[in-house]
Every structure is written in C-alpha cells, then in structure tokens.
A and B are shown apart, each in its own frame.
Chain A
Amino acid sequence: MKTLLSCTINAEAHTVLVDARDTLLDLVREGLGLTGSKEGCGNGNCGTCTVLLDGAAVNACLVLALEVAGREVVTIEGVARAGELHPIQSALVETGGTQCGFCTPGIVLAAKALLDTNADPSEQDIRQAIAGNLCRCTGYGKIVDAIATAAARLRETAT
C-alpha cells in the first residue's frame, strides 16, 4: 500500500509516495536518487546510512519512510552549500580521513550532529559520536583528527 507524505529533505519540501515497507534509506536512495547515503548492512549496525532527522544522527535503514512525515531530513547531499565544503568535509579531504569512501557520508553526518551541539568536543567525545559508524579502511585516527580540526575551525569562525 502506498501513502503520500510531505517532508523536508536538504531544505527542499518534498511530497512523495512511499510503500509501507520502505525505509527512509529506500526513500532517499531509490525514491529521490540521493545515493550518497549507503547501505552496508540494512540493520543499523554499520552507520553507512547515517542521516540527520530533525538534527539528530539516525540510521536511515532503521527509520520507516512513513515516520518522516512533517519532519526535516539532511543527507550528505545537503551538507556542502553551493559547492563549498563544510569544514568537516574539507578536513577529511586534507587529513586523509576518507579512503574507500563508503563510510564517509555517514561519518560526516555523525560528526555534524556532534559539532552542531558541542563546539569543543574532546577526543573521547568525537570517538563516541562516530562509534556507530564502522570504517574498515582508516583505523579512525585520521577521521578523529579531521573532526577535531573542523571543530577548531568552526570555533574560530564563530568568534
């Protein structure tokens, strides 16, 4: 059975027809062609599908599409503004915090959820924030460095 719902995705209003079985990940990837969110496991264990739902990082594979009616979703496609990378993204580029890239979109959003609420996170805070996002390539060190660098730059621009 299909249902019509309205929500905001990457600051744009969308009205979409969804199947009751569809997840939020199905909606963004298959329905809207926003394929930056990845499916690594389909049951909430890997974090590659992380998106922001009303500002909080969630696994899009664990949210039913029907649940997002009236809510605001940010996917990786909505993080860079007009081609300008978010400081988390540019720091990941510089430090080598992205290798195969499959976990990267989820990491960016998990980190954004952290920095949106905590301007000066400790290394432990950063590790905690991305603990739900598996990365098999980097060993995490360069990702943690990138997020710390981005936090420092954001603090500079805020003052």
Chain B
Amino acid sequence: MNLDPTGAPTAELKVIGKRLARVDARERVTGQAIYPADLKLPGMVHAKILRSPLAHARIRGIDSTRAQAIKGVLAVVTAADFPALPVGSTIPMGETGYDMWMVAAINMARDKVHWVGQPVAAVAAVDVHTAAAALALIAVDYEPLEPVLGILAAMAPEAPVLHEHVFTKGIEPRPRAASNVCSRVVISRGDASAALQEAHASARVRVEVDTAHQGYLEPQVAMAQVDANGFATVWASTQGQFTAELMIARMLGLPASKLKVVPLEIGGGFGGKIAIHGEAVAVRLAQKCQRPVKLVLTREEVLQGGSGPAAGALIDIAVAAQKDGGLRAIEGTYRMDAGGLPGMSPSLLMQASAALYQCPNLSLEGYDVVTNKPRTEAYRGPGGIQAAFAVEQAMDMLCQKLGMDPLEFRKRNASVTGSLMPIGTPFPAIGLDTILEAVGRHPCWTEPLAPGAFPRGRGLALGYWRGTSMTSAAHITIAGDGRPMVTMGAVDLSGTRSTMAQVVAEEFGLAIEDVHVQTGDSKSVGYSDGAAGSRVARTMTAALVEACADALRQLRMRAAEKLQSAPELLHYADAVFRAPQPSGAAISLAELMQATLTDGAVVGRGVSSKLPLGVEIGAHVCDVEVDTDSGLVTVLRYTAFQDVGLALNPIAVEGQIEGSVVQGLGWALLEGFDYGPDGRLRNASLLDYRMPTALDVPRIESVIVETPVPNVPYGVRGVGEVPIVPPAAAVANAIARAVGVRVCRMPMTPERVLAAIRAVQAGPT
C-alpha cells in the first residue's frame, strides 16, 4: 500500500471505504450463525453454578455429599478442586495484564465471598433440572460479615476491610493498614487551586453514576470436552481466545499443549466477555465426569453477580475560566466503585475528563475502591461516560456563568494536534477543531428548536477515549486458485471479517468476494490480545497489510521464475504479475499457484504490536423534551460527530456509532443497578433493568470526520468506544437548558429528574 507522510492513502481505494454488506450477514439473518449455546455434543451433560446469597461472608465449609448422592449428578466442584493462585500471579493482556488471583475469584470463591452471586460450587448432571436440584442440596456454612456497599462508606477509615492484603497503591510511604482503596492516581500540572481562586468564573459539580451492565443479549456460555489424552477443547463466547486460554490454563494448571479455545459467534461482549466466567469450571467438571459439559448462564445469573457490570463512580469536579472564556483550571476527585475485587486504574477516566481542553492547571486525583458488589469489568470506553458526565456538565455550567455559547467555548479551548495530553505527551494528529467546525455548520446546531408541549433544550458534549493497541496477528495462505485465505487471531465483534476482507482485497487488487477471512482458534494462529479497546480494526489492518506484503513477496519470487524476469522488475496489479517490455509476459495469481502448487505453501505472516494509538474524539448534540409533570425525558434528535481517521466501511462505522450512542442513552436515562442494603441486586431481569427499546430512542445521525493517524496503515482510528462517552452529558446539558436544573445522578430517571425540578421549585432550604 501507499502511505504519504500524514498516513493517508495516496492511491484511489477500490474496496476500502465502500458501503459493503457484512460478509457474514446472510447466516445471521437466516439463523444459521452458530453461537456456543447452539452446540450439542454426544454424551453432553449440563452444569449449574451455586452462587453466594451473601454480599460478604467467610466460608467455613462446604458439604456436597447430599448433592452427589442424587441420581444423575456426575460431578461437583468447589475451590478445593482448583490450585490456589497467589496474588500477583499475572498473565499478559495489554499493558497491565490480568491478576489470576482475581480471575480465579470471579470463577470460584475461596475462603471468602465478596458479592452476591459469586460462585462457590458447581455441579454437572444429566440435565439442567437435576443440576439445579443438586445445587439446593449443597450446604455452605457461611460466617456473615458486614457488607460495605457505598463508595464513601468503603473509603471511611472505620470501614470493614474486604481484602486483608490490599494496601493502597500510589501512596508513599506504603500504608501500614489494609484498605478498601486499592489505588490512588494523581495527575497534576500547574497550580489548579490557585487558578480556581483567581479565575473570573468557576463551576463545580458532584455527580454520581450508578453501576450499569454491558447488556449483551447472549448470556455467557461454555462447552468443554476432554478427550482420552486429557486434551481439553472449550467452545466459548469470548472476546479473546488467547486470553481465555491463558486464564483457563492457569486456573487448572494445564499446559498449553492440552487446551484449545474455539471462539464461536459472540452475541455481544462490550468488554464483559474478556475475562472467563465459568469456562475453567466447565473443563474441571468435564475432567471429573469424563463427559462433555455445557454451562449456560441464565439472565438472572448474568445480572446478579455472575458477570461483571461497569463501574459506578462518585466524581467532584471544578473548572474555571478567565473572562474571555480561556480555560484556566480543572480540579477533580474521581472515586471508582470497582465492586468486590480491585478494578481498573482510574487514570483512563481521569485522562478522559481533561484531554480535550488546553488547560494550564490540572489537579486530578483518582481512587479505585472495592465494595461488596459484583466485581466490575470493562464496558465500552470504560470510565469515559462517567468522566464526561462530570466534566462536560461542569463546562456547560461554566459557559452559562460566562454567558458564552457552549460551542464557541469548546472552539476557544479545544485541544489540537500537538497540545499536551493530561499525561504530558503531545497529541498526535487529532481532528477536534474539524469536528467542532462541522457541528457549527450542521442543522442539528443551527436550526432552532421547535416548541413542544413541554420545555425543550439542546445540549452539547464532547467525548474522548484513548483506546489501546496491543498485539494482533494473522496469516494468509494462498489457495490453489490464487485467492487469499485469511486466518486472524481476533474475534469478530464489530464486522471485523468484513472490514479485513476489504483490506486484503484492496492490497491484492481483488474483489471482496475473492477473499475468505476466518477467526482462528487458540491453536491455529499467532497470539493476539482480545477484541477490546477499539484496537482490532486498526491493528489487524496493520497486521494484514504486513501479511499481504509477505505473501506477495513470495508470490513475486515464483512469478519471476516463471516469467524469466528479475523479481523487482515485475509489475503487480489486480492479481496479475507482468514482466517489463519488451516481453510484457504476464501471469495471474491463479495461473501462478496452479503452476507452483507442488513448491509448497505460500503463507504470508503479519503481526502488529505497539501501533500508534488511534485516539477517538466525538462531539454530540442532543435535543430533549422534559415532561415537567412526570420527569420523563424524551430524546427528540441526536447527532454524533466523530473523527474516525478513515472509515474502512461506513456502514460498519455508523453501526458502531449508533449502537454505542444508544447504549450511552440507556445508561443516561434508564439503566442502573439497584442494590438493596444487603447487597442484593433488586432489578436482576431485563424487565426491571430497562435497556432502550426501539421506542425509547430517536434515529441517531452520525457525521463522520476523517483525520488519518500518522504512521498507521490507512490512518484508521478506533471507532466503537467513544460514542458511548458523551450521551449522558449531552442529555444532562439539554435538560439543564430546557428546565434549568442539573440532574447529577445517572441514570437520570423520571423520578430523579422530577425531584431535581421540584427541589428548584421549592427554592433554597
């Protein structure tokens, strides 16, 4: 491929950038696509997991003798059936890896339970009814402990400590007492506190974000089979077959030569299917009973502690500006509710809250806090929506104090290429200014709001997500008819097979129909990190550009021999090698492979690691109507502007943006976990945990801006994560413009909106 110094492709693209249907769409619309729950193996039995009814307790003992005595029960496992993994026993995954002590605790509690729904035992039986009956006969002797549920309660010095070995990281000297604060992160620049004092105007807000769930429609499923040689195969719904394999192997003490993970179609993941949730348990049961074991979580299990929701947060933020609107300071305290095990570093969330503004004074302090609720996991741009809900409301309040148009304020302060990121390094090429110009020209911003039955308002919010790169590998074998067959190490979450077929078709000068792309299992392709962090399309493109070049280099050598020419003199285009004049002889890839089949395979290999980041930036504009009698907020119009670098396939890009925005609107208005005082989730069904239906959201319009990332093939950016970041803030800002109140808790349910309106009507108390 051709790259100019800005990363933009110079040659005209024939396949990339086209609005093509997904290559796997037909099997989806006909019901032929195979998900793990669809598998059935001869002799298969069924597993069920016994889960903790208590949020915090010590396990004194587990007696499963009565369960084992039931006819049809084939195996029972508890933590005693797995090696105890020490704290700090990590496996690689991205920048920080995974601590296997925590992965093990998600899959089977040992000695203590830290949330309702944490697994404590599992059963394999001839059918699900028998397995369920057996669970009821397992006697677990718990010593109940006081549950710690709120973030502030968990941070209090007198709070019961969840983990005796957790000492707050990021404090010098190392604390002497264990704490529920797992880590503290500080990002600072200049003197924010002085700047806040001196500034012309300032705004402060405290926001609270309830825990929400990724809401993938397919519950977790694992099918495990162990053959006579002890080789285990796991068919899973996973975002990463290699990460899953490493986790299962470590939990069971299995060598890599005895385990294979086969990823099938995945019915949504959004971050929640990176870690394993029962796969290793299914393998252990299969080893014990010597039958294939199928484990299918119920929806209630998925919601009630069987899988990680997204972190809640409590954030205080203050911002200040001079009279002309120049931003002077951002000061923030970020407390993340990780649930029952240490969570992600607050750093990404803190960066997300400050990256888009040029601001000389920053003082950001973040805490990762454990509470007796399900261990949280990643959810699409993890931390981003929480950050934006705080900072973008604070900026909007500042605009109101300054009497400044919120778009003009953003233009005045927007980060540009070369601006310092919060961590102190300069931004590579970014297109925030282009996005803001596009907003200013668009009817969603220029057209006045039509009056309605109730007050209406328009909100603007920005979003930032850093994303990640990590490792992607792929190889291409050339079929006997010259067509490229691609095996990639990434699971297809977002149409990857289609976009990667486009990349390979482009590189070879073929049509998309000539390319076959499959996801490899953990034994058939090189190590790749999981499909997460908006990384796959970018890094797999880079890996495949390399693999195509490798394959074409080998093909060129063969063609040179056939055409009696020096390889470097051959011209390649549209699947034909041509010798220079006067000979001008030509050979197609099909003819070449036919003629050289017995020379051995042509296999092109490619890997991408440490690709430059493809930071994601978006600006969203939202119109709402607020029913002041009921508090119901209706989103009337929604437009999302996003810089995607280059859209490999605009249909796929729009699909990512629209879906991500609607997830954000769901969390903004409807979705929140409602925990009782005992730590039990009170809305553990899809009726009570309300995700948006087709009636709850308007048509989402996406406006694509393309600022290529330098030194990245085709200049592609991440796409899928950042559109979930601004929606809650955009809605909150629209509500504020409509009815003059700030609703500072997500989700902004009718009850909370009405309470905020009534509080303002009642006046200061």
| A residues with CB within 8 A of B | 21, 29-30, 33-43, 45-46, 48, 75-77, 79-80, 85, 88-90, 92-96, 98-105, 108, 126-128, 130-144
Contacts and interface: CB of A to CB of B under 8 A. Distances in A.
B694 A99 contact: no
B268 A102 contact: yes
B570 interface: no
B30 A138 contact: no
Interface string B623-665: 0000000000000000000000000000110110011111100
A136 B686 contact: no
A135 B659 CA distance: 9
Contacts of A42: 298-299
Given A36-B30, A80-B30, A141-B700, A100 B694 contact: no
B29 to A, nearest CB: 4
A77 to B, nearest CB: 6
Contacts of A89: 26, 29-30
A127 B694 contact: yes
B147 interface: no
Nearest to B663: A136
Interface in B17-53: 21-22, 24-35, 37-38, 40
Contacts of B694: 126-128, 130-131, 133, 135, 140, 143-144
Given A39-B37, A43-B299, A45-B685, A98 B22 contact: yes
Given A45-B299, A94-B21, A139-B661, 6 more contacts: A45-B685, A46-B686, A98-B22, A102-B218, A135-B694, A144-B694
Nearest to A76: B31
Interface centre among A36, A76, A104, A137 (most CB of B within 10 A): A137
A144 B699 contact: yes
A45 B267 CA distance: 16
Given A136-B216, A138-B655, A143-B694, A85 B38 contact: no
B548 interface: no
Contacts of A41: 299, 685-686
B667 interface: no
Nearest to A101: B28
Contacts of B651: 95-96, 142
A138 B298 contact: no
Contacts of A127: 694-695
A134 B30 contact: no
Nearest to B494: A99
A2 to B, nearest CB: 13
B242 interface: no
Interface in B127-171: 129
B215 interface: yes
Interface of B: 21-22, 24-35, 37-38, 40, 129, 214-219, 265-268, 270, 296, 298-299, 493-495, 651-652, 654-655, 658-663, 685-687, 691-695, 697, 699-700
Nearest to A132: B693
Contact of B662 (A30, A76, A139): A139
B217 A102 contact: yes
A108 B28 CA distance: 10
B297 to A, nearest CB: 11
Given A38-B35, A141-B700, A93 B268 contact: no
B217 A96 contact: no
Contacts of A88: 29
A145 to B, nearest CB: 9
A35 to B, nearest CB: 4
Contacts of B299: 40-43, 45-46
A46 B217 contact: yes
Given A75-B31, A136-B270, A96 B218 contact: no
A133 B696 CA distance: 12
Nearest to A91: B29
Nearest to B498: A96
A126 B694 CA distance: 9
A98 B28 contact: yes
A126 B693 CA distance: 12
Interface centre among A101, A134, A140 (most CB of B within 10 A): A101
Contacts of A36: 30-32
Contacts of B663: 136
Contacts of B34: 35
Nearest to B33: A101
Given A89-B30, A96-B652, A98-B28, A134 B691 contact: yes
Nearest to B221: A39
A131 B218 contact: no
Contacts of A132: 693
B31 A96 contact: no
A129 to B, nearest CB: 8
26 contacts: A30-B40, A42-B299, A46-B299, A88-B29, A93-B21, A94-B21, A96-B655, A98-B25, A99-B495, A100-B268, A101-B24, A101-B27, A101-B29, A102-B217, A102-B218, A126-B694, A127-B695, A130-B694, A131-B694, A132-B693, A135-B694, A137-B659, A138-B658, A139-B697, A142-B658, A143-B694
A26 B662 CA distance: 32
Contacts of A136: 214-217, 268, 270, 659, 663, 691
A59 to B, nearest CB: 12
A43 B685 CA distance: 9
B266 A100 contact: yes
B659 A138 contact: yes
B702 to A, nearest CB: 9
Contacts of B267: 38, 40, 100-102
B113 to A, nearest CB: 25
Contacts of A46: 217, 299, 686
B332 to A, nearest CB: 30
Contacts of A139: 658-662, 697, 700
A139 B692 CA distance: 9
B190 to A, nearest CB: 40
A134 B694 CA distance: 8
Contacts of B654: 96, 142
A15 to B, nearest CB: 21
B64 to A, nearest CB: 25
Interface centre among B27, B32, B214 (most CB of A within 10 A): B32
Contacts of A45: 299, 685-687
A134 B109 CA distance: 33
Contacts of A101: 24, 27-29, 33, 265, 267
B217 A40 contact: yes
Contact of B21 (A48, A96, A100, A130): A96
Contacts of A77: 30-31
Contacts of A108: 29
A107 B345 CA distance: 39
A132 B718 CA distance: 32
A52 to B, nearest CB: 13
